[in-house]
Structure 1
Amino acid sequence: MPRRGRSSSRVDRNALERDRRQHTKELFSRLGFLLPIPLSKRSLPEMLDQATTHVKQLGQRVEMLKQKKQLLEGSSSTDDQTTGIRDHMMGGAWLPVLTVSDLGSMLEVCVKSGSNKKFVLHQVIQVLAEEAAQVVALSYSNVGHGIFYTINAQAVSPRIGIETSRVHERLKELIF
């Protein structure tokens, strides 16, 4: 009789383990569909590595968007860094503001241009092209006497990438 109880508990444990494995498999499958670059057959370590990288990139994007929001609201409390220059007011007109954000193989350039400074957009695009970046999206909006430009560029070769500091310096020379 005691033997039957052990067999029953073993069957229960096997069923629980089978259910646990099935649930884990379903969760990893859902994770695989959430990743930006689907691979046909990827191993579990590859999928977890890609998910970790993706979450880190999303965190960096959130921080960059927070800084961009502060910059656009004019309440930026961060000090000037290589990726951004603080907004200054001079005689009631805006001086240009430039931010260059590295998003892995992508680059986001935000320019806040005032009415007192001529800004030539094609020159910015030319600098990006010379630095091996291809513009994939561009948007602008007129607000008061200023224009806000957002340019998203992708590295021509993702292996090589884009040197953000160099792009920032070249654009700073062009805009200021």
Structure 2
Amino acid sequence: MTRRGRSSSGVDRNALERDRRQHTKELFSRLGFLLPTPLSQRSLPELLDQATTHVKQLEQRVEMLKQKKQLLEGSGTDDRTTGIRDHMMSDARSTVLTVSDLDSILEVCVKSGSNKKFMLHQVIQVLVEEAAQVVALSYSNVGDRIFYTIKAEAVSPRIGIETSRVRERLKELML
């Protein structure tokens, strides 16, 4: 009789383990569908690496969007951001420039007033001269303000982009 009790408890453990593995498999499958890359046959370590990378990218994007929000609200920047205001901060219509370096992507945000002549092609020219390739550009008009967002990546990832040099050249351009 004790043998039978042990074997039924072993069957219970096997069933519990099978259910646990099935549940884990379902969770990993759902995780795979949440990733931006198409679902294919990935090993578990690859899936976890991709998920980790994706979460880090999302965190960087949240930080970048917070900086962009500050720029658009005109609240200025704090020490954590790499934003710069030109010397005409007292003028509410002055141009505001923010340069953010997010791994391999460089984001340039410009808030320009209508009273300031601003040439977008000059900003793009500086980026190209600094070995950056523009991958996305957007703008919007709000009242008499124009908001530009330019995303660029290094032409050669091994060399990269010298963010501080780009920032200084763009700052000179805004004066």
Give the Cα separation in 1 of the matches to 2:171 and 2:27. Answer: 46
Kept in 2, the 8 Å contact 1:155–1:161? The answer is yes
Kept in 1, the 8 Å contact 2:77–2:84? The answer is no
Q: CA deviation at 1:123?
A: 1.4
Equivalence for 2:90: 89
> In structure 1, the residue corresponding to 2:99 is in which secondary structure?
strand
Q: TM-score scaled by structure 2? A: 0.83
Equivalence for 2:63: 63
Q: Report Cα offsets for 1:63-101 as digits up to 9, x if no partner.
A: 2211221221122362485x20247232xx522111112
- 1:32-111 aligned at under 5 Å gives the runs 32-38=32-38, 40-76=40-76, 78-79=78-79, 83-86=82-85, 88-90=89-91, 93-111=92-110
> In structure 2, the residue corresponding to 1:119 is in which secondary structure?
coil
For these two proteins, the number of residue pairs brought into alignment is 173
Q: CA deviation at 1:122?
A: 1.0
Give the Cα separation in 1 of the matches to 2:77 and 2:11. Answer: 62
State the Cα RMSD in Å: 2.5
Give the Cα separation in 1 of the matches to 2:53 and 2:172. Answer: 33
Give the Cα separation in 2 of the matches to 1:9 and 1:134. Answer: 64
Which residue identity is paired with 1:89? S
Q: Report Cα offsets for 1:132-157 as digits up to 9, x if no partner.
A: 33222212122233211111223334
Equivalence for 2:12: 12
- 1:122-161 aligned at under 5 Å gives the runs 122-161=121-160
Kept in 2, the 8 Å contact 1:67–1:76? The answer is no
Kept in 1, the 8 Å contact 2:77–2:83? The answer is no
> Does residue 29 of structure 2 align to residue 29 of structure 1?
yes
Give the Cα separation in 2 of the matches to 1:39 and 1:104. Answer: 25
Which residue identity is paired with 1:147? I
Give the Cα separation in 2 of the matches to 1:163 and 1:26. Answer: 44
> In structure 1, the residue corresponding to 2:60 is in which secondary structure?
helix
Give the Cα separation in 1 of the matches to 2:141 and 2:83. Answer: 21
Unpaired runs of 5+ residues, structure 2, are none
Q: CA deviation at 1:39?
A: 7.7
| Identical pairs, percent | 84
